[in-house]
């Protein structure tokens, strides 16, 4: 039986070319190299594990891993807090835990965007249960205006205003992850 969609929100998917560029691919590449150099200095002579938060951090982690000059491996976790929404539900659910033990290892948790802090706070607690030698956080984007819990990243590529962004791994309804730069998603794209 068909249901009425008169009250259901609908979305259209604007072309990335119509969205304002917030951070160019060149700026992303330069800043990622700088963070990679800082991490290489901080962990000189040591081995580190990069743990990416799927799916959004996969591209940032990939570029960062290549920019880090010390021995590094990586693993992934997956959580859900947004679904198809533009705003986090606030409830974080673990979908995939790490595959390899990190006890006694130096770990950097890699996130695409730190906004409310709920997801990273949850993941930090989860990672600490695995007893790493150290745990730091790196994020591509930081939206401090949205913070709900007191958490800060150790490595931040860019601080941005409270705008919804896509590209460089970040999505809206699983689209736009492959856009090479970070663009502002228009408010009018969701009705």
- The rounded distance, in Å, linking the Cα atoms of 56 and 186 is 19
Query: Given 63, 75, 99, 115, which residue is catalytic?
Result: 115
- The rounded distance, in Å, linking the Cα atoms of 99 and 58 is 16
Catalytic-residue membership of 115: yes
DSSP assignment of 112-132: EEESSSHHHHHHHHHHHHT--
* Helix residue spans in 88-189 (DSSP H): 118-129
* Residue 62, φ and ψ in degrees, nearest 5: -60, -50
Active site residues: 115
């Amino acid at each position: 039986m068909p249901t009425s969609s008169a009250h259901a929100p609908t979305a259209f998917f604007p072309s990335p070319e119509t969205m304002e560029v917030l951070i160019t691919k060149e700026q992303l590449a330069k800043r990622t190299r700088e963070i990679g150099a800082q991490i290489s200095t901080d962990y000189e002579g040591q081995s580190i594990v990069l743990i990416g938060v799927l799916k959004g951090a996969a591209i940032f982690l990939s570029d960062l891993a290549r920019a880090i000059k010390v021995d590094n491996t990586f693993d992934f976790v997956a959580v859900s807090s947004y679904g198809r929404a533009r705003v986090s539900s606030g409830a974080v659910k673990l979908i995939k835990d790490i595959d390899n033990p990190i006890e006694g290892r130096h770990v950097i948790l890699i996130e695409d965007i730190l906004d409310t802090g709920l997801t990273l706070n949850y993941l930090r607690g989860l990672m600490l249960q695995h007893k790493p030698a150290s745990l730091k956080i790196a994020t591509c984007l930081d939206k401090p205006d949205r913070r709900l819990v007191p958490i800060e990243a150790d490595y931040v590529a860019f601080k941005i205003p409270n705008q919804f962004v896509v590209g460089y791994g970040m999505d809206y309804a699983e689209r736009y992850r492959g856009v090479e730069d970070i663009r502002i998603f228009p408010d009018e794209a969701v009705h």
